[in-house]
Amino acid sequence: MTGNVLLMLPEILLGAGAVLLLLWDLRLPAEKKGLLCWGAVAVAAAALAATWAPDIARTLSASPADAASVFAHESFAVDGLSVFLKRLFAITAILVFITAKDSVDAFPNARGEWWTLGVIALLGMFLCSGANDFMTLFVSLETVTVAFFALAAFRRDKPASVEAGLKLLVMGSLSAALLLYGIALIYGSTGTVFFSEIAGKIAPRALPDGTLVVPAIPAEMVVGAALVVLGLGFKTSAVPLHVWVPDVYQGAPTPTTAYLSVGSKLAGFVLLIRVVAMFGASPELGAQIAAFMSVIAGVTLLYGNLGALPQTNLKRLMGYSSIAQCGYLMAGIAASWEAGMSSALFYMASYVGMNLAAFAVIMSVSRATGSHEIDDYSGLARRSPMLGMALTLALLSLAGVPPFMGFFGKFFLLGAAYGRPELFWLFLIGIACVVVALYYYLSIVRRIWSEEPRIRTEIRAPRRVTLTLAAVSVVLIGGAILPNLVQAPATAAVKQMGVFPGKPPVPPRALR
Amino acid sequence: MPPVTTAHYVMLSAILMGVGLFGVVTRKNAVIVLMGLELMLNAANLAFVAFARHHGNLQGHVFTFIVIAVAAAEAAVALSIMIALYRLKGSITLDDAQELKG
């Protein structure tokens, strides 16, 4: 029951690191605040290294009891899924912190706190990845959300930033309240908030004489489960709680947008996978929730891709693109069998690379031009071949063009939906949206390479940004040549959960 | 007089939830919107306490305390964002926060 404290080492390091950064910020003179970036990177790197601590302890210790994988009365799971996501979150934070340094250093006010809040958000994401009961889920989710309220409204001198913070706040609190009411209804019908106990109460069980008892699922349980999925849809930017996404992406400071677009979204997805796994214990409830999510996935895909078409502001376009990417991930999770879940994890890994590469370029370009309009990206390849190349690669990967990791991610996800005959309509929507997405991503690529720049001055990116972009590009191509490097741990993590069938499940008759 | 059952409490919490949601959707003043949000959180709290009494365990009570703490943190950040908005615009109606569209 007590577990090994090593299992929580990454979270302990992050919590301590956030406090130390805040204290260090107090002592640092204003001209040295840039050092805090490296402090934050060091904390995230330490947390990343600490995710291997349980493995090391397991090999060193003789008794297997020390290597228990749940912590604090099953509230906190340290399994393949949580470790996979923790590594993704830590890499996300390191990439964002390194590429955001110049933009944050240029903030006129209180720039030290950006790093502290960033580490606190990372702590929330780490807790999200291991949340194994509804209390941990709610608190970890709010740790991420409230940190992002402050990060989005960070430029108090800019009306757009404050407006972004306010919109994030209203939608975030609204979705938290809906989520909470859903949790209350589930607690009401099962009498517990622990995922394992809820799954045990709704799962069919065999009596000693061999008959199978299928517990009836009360209506409030179904409504509660639907509200939980909706409430998590705020984080993953799924319809209908997606309305904040384009506004906040455009208005928030770009480092915050980069962090929000990846970290906060994936935190929502890992929680979604956990609750879907729990609801799946009951075949009836699992099928209803999967049908509900497939409808959300279809609408989200259409909304994100069609909304992106008329955009002229690149950050806003990335907002719609983020909604569209959420649709693909939801489609894989709605398919709710092993391939859908593992390809969702694979796509999350590729999403970290391609989205952060795009935002790293956006940050560098906007520091030179002061604009996020797509018009100002015309001829970017002539002003800075390196940035033009990196943005092209990121956009092609987001569009799902073959030689990149994004293609394989979409291929696997839509393949998982195709494996379910009753989700064939969702597969068709997904294919149609890939074509639509090609149009708006490739029109930016065309302008980068074939149009004349309005201003011809060279754009110079700092060396650490170009090095980071080069590393991410190598991973995006390398992950496409050797997809198994990511696919193997993702599949192992999903298999370890042991709830998703290895083959597409046959739909119950009522749903046909 | 009929006894007050768990169903009554849950119905009241659903009504409070609806009132809060209505306030969030229709009101223009940011502080009133915040009040609506707090009402929604407390509607969920009421449901938690009622269910905890119904099931006779403490998890619902503990959850309520956690929600109160989270709501306080949320309100602190919310009010500071509103102060920032007031300093920039001189008002806190949501109509003044409409720069981002499209």
3-state DSSP assignment of residue A213: strand
Are A177 and B66 within 8 A, CB to CB? no
- A164 close to B (CB below 8 A): yes
Site of tokens 């007590």: A2
Pair A118, A96: CB distance under 8 Å: yes
**Quick one: pLDDT at residue A208?**
86
Are A135 and B33 within 8 A, CB to CB? no
Are A180 and B41 within 8 A, CB to CB? yes
Pair A185, A220: CB distance under 8 Å: yes
Which residue in the set A164, A176, A192 is minimally distant from B59, CB to CB? A192
- A192 close to B (CB below 8 A): yes
Using alpha carbons, select from A64, A96, A49, A72 the residue that is nearest to residue A1. A72
Instruction: Tell me the two tokens of residue A411.
Output: 């291929």
Beta strand A205-206 with A212-213 is: antiparallel
Using alpha carbons, select from A186, A179, A114 the residue that is nearest to residue A142. A179
User: Does the pLDDT of residue B4 top 90, yes or no?
Assistant: no
**Quick one: pLDDT at residue A3?**
55
Closest chain B C-alpha to A412 CA, distance in angstroms: 33
* Cα–Cα distance measured from residue B73 to residue A416, given in angstroms and rounded to the nearest whole number: 41
Number of H helices, E strands in chain A: 21, 4
pLDDT by 10s per residue, chain A, length 512: 445 777 889 999 999 999 999 999 999 988 888 899 999 999 999 999 999 987 777 777 655 544 445 555 678 888 889 999 999 999 999 999 999 999 998 888 767 899 999 999 999 999 999 999 999 999 999 999 999 999 999 999 999 999 999 999 999 999 999 999 999 999 999 999 999 999 999 999 888 888 888 888 999 999 999 999 999 999 999 989 999 999 999 999 999 999 999 999 999 999 999 999 999 999 899 999 999 999 999 999 999 999 999 999 999 999 999 999 999 999 999 998 889 999 999 999 999 999 999 999 999 999 988 899 999 999 999 999 999 999 999 999 999 988 889 999 999 999 999 988 889 999 999 999 999 999 999 999 999 999 888 888 888 889 999 999 999 999 999 888 888 888 899 999 998 888 888 888 765 554 44
3-state DSSP assignment of residue A205: strand
Average of per-residue pLDDT values in chain B: 92
CA distances from A218 to A178, A189, A282 (A): 19, 7, 12
Using alpha carbons, select from A307, A431, A429, A446 the residue that is nearest to residue A374. A446
My answer on whether omega of the bond before A64 falls inside 30° of 0, hence cis, is no
Which residues neighbour A451 within 8 Å (Cβ) at sequence distance 6 or greater? A378, A379
Q: Is the dihedral of CA B6, B7, B11, B14 positive or negative?
A: positive
Residues of B in contact with A185 (CB under 8 A): 47
Q: What is the mean pLDDT of residues B85-90?
A: 90
Which residue in the set A178, A193, A246 is minimally distant from B63, CB to CB? A193
Which residue in the set B77, B89, B97 is minimally distant from A150, CB to CB? B77
The burial of A372, by beta-carbon neighbours within 10 Å (0-12 exposed, 13-18 middle, 19 or more buried), is given as buried
DSSP A451: S
Are A183 and B40 within 8 A, CB to CB? no
- A154 close to B (CB below 8 A): no
* Cα–Cα distance measured from residue A442 to residue A91, given in angstroms and rounded to the nearest whole number: 28
Are A181 and B47 within 8 A, CB to CB? yes
Are B66 and A139 within 8 A, CB to CB? yes
Measured between its terminal Cα atoms, the distance across chain A in Å is 44
Instruction: Tell me the two tokens of residue A12.
Output: 């302990």
Q: Chain B residue with minimal CA distance to A190?
A: B55
Burial A40-68 (b: 16+ CB within 10 A, else e): bbebbbbbbebbebbeebeeeeeeeeebe
**Quick one: pLDDT at residue B102?**
59
Which residue in the set A169, A181, A191 is minimally distant from B78, CB to CB? A169
Are B44 and A247 within 8 A, CB to CB? no
Are B89 and A159 within 8 A, CB to CB? yes
Which residue in the set B24, B74, B81 is minimally distant from A153, CB to CB? B81
Structural domains for chain B: 6-96 (1.10.287.3510)
Helix (H) or strand (E) holding A434: helix A424-450
Site of tokens 């970017």: A380
ipTM of the complex: 0.95
Pair A67, A4: CB distance under 8 Å: yes
**Quick one: pLDDT at residue A67?**
45
Residues of A in contact with B48 (CB under 8 A): 184, 187
Q: Residue A205: beta bridge partners?
A: A213
Are B37 and A167 within 8 A, CB to CB? no
Closest chain B C-alpha to A144 CA, distance in angstroms: 11
Which residue in the set B6, B13, B24 is minimally distant from A170, CB to CB? B24
Are B99 and A163 within 8 A, CB to CB? yes
Using alpha carbons, select from A138, A105, A84, A86 the residue that is nearest to residue A38. A105
Phi, psi of B84 (to 5 degrees): -60, -40
Q: Say how many CB pairs under 8 Å bridge A and B.
A: 134
Chain A interface test: which of B26, B31, B35, B77 (most A C-beta within 10 Å): B77
Structure confidence at residue B97 as a pLDDT band (50, 70, 90): confident
Instruction: Tell me the two tokens of residue A97.
Output: 């912190």
Residues of A in contact with B85 (CB under 8 A): 162-163, 166
- A144 close to B (CB below 8 A): no
% of chain B surpassing 70 pLDDT: 99
* Residue A72, CB-side half-sphere exposure with 13 Å CA sphere: 15
Site of tokens 């906040």: A248
Are B98 and A163 within 8 A, CB to CB? yes
Which residue in the set B44, B81, B102 is minimally distant from A169, CB to CB? B81
Q: Residue A133: beta bridge partners?
A: A194
